[in-house]
Structure 1
C-alpha cells in the first residue's frame, strides 16, 4: 500500500505531544500507539474513539475500510483532498482543522483587557484555565492549556459571540502564554478552526499541517 506524498508529513512525536495535551485538557485516556498512528479511547456519546495519524498510512486506510459504526473519528495531518479518494462513501469529511505551532517570546506578552472585563486564572492540575468575565460576571472568553514535556498545548479557546471583536481571544492567549513562559516553556501547539486560524496568524502562529477529520454519520 503506497501513501500519498504531495504534502509534508507531520512529525509523529509532535502529533503525539499535541494529542497528549488534548487528552489531558479533556480529561480522557492518554493516547496509545495503534495502526501507524495513535488511539484515544474518548468514551463520549458522540465520540467513542479517535484515531490520529501523522500522515496517510496503511493503518489509516485499513481502519477506513473496516470501521462501519459511527462515533469513531479518523483524524490525519493531511489535506482533505489527499485522504478523500481513499475513503469509502460512508465516511464524511468534517470542516477543516489546522495544526499550528509557535515559538513563543522569552518575555510574557502584554495583556490588554477592555474596560469592564476581568481575568481569572484557575490551575486545575494538569489543566490551567484562563477565563475573562464581563461586567455582568458572565463568561465572555475562555481557554485552557496543558504542559507536555517542553510544549504548551492550547485547547478550547473560545469567545462568546456577544463579546467578539473586542480582543478577548487575544487576551486569553496572552494570559495562557504568560503562564507557560513563567514555567520555562516556549513552544506552542494547537489545532485551530478556520476562524481561529485567522486569529492565531495575527499572533505569530504558523501553519504546521492541515488536520482533516472523517466520521461515519449516525
Structure 2
C-alpha cells in the first residue's frame, strides 16, 4: 500500500542539522532554537527572517499571530492543508516544498560535463560553492553543499535557462556527492521544488516530509 505523503513526520534531528546547513550555504548567522522552531535571521529585503518548525503544533499558530511585519517566513514540515487553516488571513501559502534525504550513494558513476563546460569550486569553511561555467565563463549551473554535522546539506541547486536538458544538474549533484564522500559522509538532506524533486528521486533521494512555506507578502492592514 502506498504511503500517504501527508502522514510523513520529519525527524527533528534531521531538521535541526538541515537548518544549520542551510544557514551555512546562505552565509547567515547560525539558527537559534526558540518556542519550538529555529529562527534564522536572513536579512534580505524580500526575506528578513525565517522560522523553521519540524512539525505543526500550536506554537506555529502562536508565531503566526504574533508576527505582522512583511517578508517573514514560516517553514513547517507538514502538509499545507494542516498549516493554512491555522494561520491568520494575512499569511499566504507558497508553492509546495519537499524535504528529502539520501542514505548511501546516488546511482550511476561520475559523468563528464558536456564539451565547453567546466567546474569551478569555492570553499568557505564548512560550505563549498560549485559552479558550472560555459565557454564564455558564465555560470550555467550552480549548487552548494554544507557540512554542519553527521550529514551533508545540499542547497541552491539550479541550472540556468539555455543550459537545461544537457545533464548539468545530474552531473553537478554527483560532483557535490564526491565532495561529501571525501569527508566520509554518505548521508544528506535538502529541500526541493516540485521540479527538483523529480530529478532527485531519479538519483535515489527519498521524500522525508512535506515542507510548507507561509509568508506575509506585505504589511497587514
Q: Same fold by TM-score, threshold 0.5 exceeded?
A: yes
> 1:183-210, CA deviations, whole angstroms, 9 ceiling, x for partnerless residues?
1000010001111111111111111011
Task: Compute the TM-score of the two structures, normalised by the length of structure 2.
Answer: 0.92
In the other structure, the counterpart of 1:92 is 92
- 1:57-76 alignment runs, 5 A limit: 57-76=57-76
In the other structure, the counterpart of 2:115 is 115
In the other structure, the counterpart of 1:50 is 50
Residue 154 (1) aligns with residue 188 (2)? no
Q: Which runs of 5+ in 2 are unaligned?
A: 1-5
- Kindly tell me the number of residue pairs found equivalent between the two proteins: 213
The 1:121/1:35 distance shift into structure 2, 3 A limit, reads same
Deviation at 1:108, TM superposition (A): 9.1
> 1:111-143, CA deviations, whole angstroms, 9 ceiling, x for partnerless residues?
331122111222221211111111222111111
In the other structure, the counterpart of 1:83 is 83
Provide the aligned C-alpha RMSD in A.
1.6
Deviation at 1:106, TM superposition (A): 9.3
In the other structure, the counterpart of 1:143 is 143
In the other structure, the counterpart of 1:27 is 27
In the other structure, the counterpart of 1:187 is 187
> 1:37-90, CA deviations, whole angstroms, 9 ceiling, x for partnerless residues?
111122221111110001111211111122122111111001111111111111
Runs of 4+, deviation exceeding 6 Å: none
Q: Which runs of 5+ in 1 are unaligned?
A: 1-5
The 1:106/1:165 distance shift into structure 2, 3 A limit, reads closer
* CA distance in 2: counterparts of 1:188 and 1:108, whole angstroms: 17
Residue aligned with 2:162, SS: helix
* CA distance in 2: counterparts of 1:217 and 1:114, whole angstroms: 41
Task: Compute the TM-score of the two structures, normalised by the length of structure 1.
Answer: 0.93
In the other structure, the counterpart of 1:3 is none
CA contact (8 A) 1:37 1:54 kept: yes
* CA distance in 2: counterparts of 1:68 and 1:121, whole angstroms: 40
CA contact (8 A) 2:51 2:73 kept: yes
* CA distance in 2: counterparts of 1:49 and 1:133, whole angstroms: 32
In the other structure, the counterpart of 1:178 is 178
* CA distance in 1: counterparts of 2:109 and 2:30, whole angstroms: 31
